[in-house]
Amino acid sequence: MKKIYHLATCSTCQHIIDDFGKRAVGYEKQDIKTNPITEEQLDAMKDLVGSYEALFSRRALKYRELGLNEKKITEKEYRKFILQEYTFLKRPVVISGNQVFVGNAPKTVAAAKSAL
């Protein structure tokens, strides 16, 4: 599978995808705001990374708004929150075959770029 889950309105995601350049040709790009991820897609990502927590963004504004920073969240709850609110998915998520790269940390982006 060759896919990039991103947020079209996120300048960081757009910068990263632009930086991939020709390497990203042939990758399906899914804007998670206009085309929300499905349960099947999220479960497939989880199978690749090992946990829903690894896909969960604590930077989302709603993380603090909902008081989640003060709670212990279970794997089941991470899954529920990501499916309910697109901003809880750490992005971008780049899937290249059986490799997955989650988030925008420079080391992660560099690894994704070399894998494309």
pLDDT confidence band for 61 (50 / 70 / 90): confident
**What SS3 class is residue 113?**
helix
Q: What does pTM read for this prediction? A: 0.92
Query: How many domains are there within the chain?
Result: 1
For residue 100, which phi and psi values (nearest 5 degrees)?
Answer: -135, 140
Residue 1 pLDDT exceeds 90: no
Residue 81 pLDDT exceeds 90: yes
Task: For Cα atoms 76, 94, 39, give the angle at the middle one, nearest 5 degrees.
Answer: 30
Question: For the segment 43-60, what is each residue's pLDDT rounded down to a tens digit?
Answer: 999 999 999 999 999 998
Pull the structure tokens for residue 113: 């770029």
Range of the domain at 59: 2-115
Is the distance from CB of 17 to CB of 6 less than 8 angstroms? yes
Q: How far apart are CA 76 and CA 33, in angstroms?
A: 22
**What CATH number corresponds to the domain at position 65?**
3.40.30.10
Is the distance from CB of 66 to CB of 114 less than 8 angstroms? no
pLDDT at 92: 96
